Amino acid sequence: MSGLTRREMKRDEVREWMVVAIDWIADHVKVLFAVLGGLIGLGVVLALVFQFLGNRAERAQEELAEAIRLYTAPIDAATPDPDHAKNPVFASEADRVARAEPIFERVHERFGSTAAGRIAAAYLGDIAANRGDFEAARQHWQRYLEKDSQSALAATVRLDLIALERQTGAGEQLAADLRDAIESGSWSVPSDVLLWELGLTLEQQGQADEARDAFQRLVDEHPTSAYATRARERIGDAA
C-alpha cells in the first residue's frame, strides 16, 4: 500500500472531485444559468403571489370586522344613528341585519377559503336561524365545520347546530352523533357539555331512562361542572 497518510489521501480525493465538478460546470454552464434564471423568476412570482394573498386576507379581515361591528351594534329605537362612523345605533334588529348581512355575504363569497370567509359563514348561519330559515342555517354551519372543527368558534357553531337539529326533529340521529362524539372526542365541545346535550336530546325523544343515565354520567365524571348542578336537578338529586 502507498505510504500516503489518511489526510493526504483525503486531500487527493477532494482535489479529484473538484476537478470533475469544474469540468461538469463548464460543460453545463448555459443550463445552470437558465435554471438559476428560472429560480429567480419563480421567486419573484412566489413573492407576488404571497403579497397578493396577504393583501387579500387583510381585505377580508377588514370587511369581516366591519360586518361584525354593524351586527353587534346597539339598538335604540328612540335615537338611532346607523351611519355613525364609529358607534352606529340601529332602530331595530331588522335594520341592523340589513346593513351587516350583505357584507357577511360578500366576505363569504369573495374570501370563502380564508378564515374570514369561514367566520362570515358562521354569522350568516346565525342570521338565517334567527330568521327561521333553518335549512340555510344548517348549510352555513356545516360548511364552516367542514373547514374548522376544533377551534373555540367551532365549538360554538357545533352547539348552535345541535340546538337546531333538536329543534327541527332530528333528535334520533343527533343522539347517535352525540354518543359517538363523547366516546371519540372528535368534536371540540367539552364532554360535560356533550353529555348535557345528549340528556336533553334523549328527554325530547321520550327516552327518560337513557336521559337520566346521561345526566348521571355527567355528574359522576364532571362533578364540578356547571352542567353537573343542572343535571342533578334533572335527575332529582340536587345538591
Give the residue extent of every domain in the chain: 60-148, 166-239
Report pLDDT digits (tens) over 115-130: 899 999 999 999 999 9
Report pLDDT digits (tens) over 153-170: 899 999 999 999 999 999
As a whole number of angstroms, the distance between CA 141 and CA 118 comes to: 9
As a whole number of angstroms, the distance between CA 143 and CA 154 comes to: 11
How much is the pTM? 0.70
Report pLDDT digits (tens) over 17-73: 454 454 545 555 555 445 455 554 444 433 433 444 456 678 888 999 999 999 999
The CA dihedral of 121, 127, 129, 130, to the nearest 10 degrees, is 160
Phi, then psi, of 89 in degrees rounded to 5: -130, 130
**3-class SS letters over 20-88:** HHHHHHHHCHHHHHHHHHHHHHHHHHHHHHHHHHHHHHHHHHHHHHHHHHHHCCCECCCCCECCCCCCC
Report pLDDT digits (tens) over 170-227: 989 999 999 999 999 889 899 999 999 999 999 999 999 999 999 999 999 999 999 9
As a whole number of angstroms, the distance between CA 63 and CA 57 comes to: 10
As a whole number of angstroms, the distance between CA 146 and CA 126 comes to: 17
Report which residue type is found at 101.
Answer: E
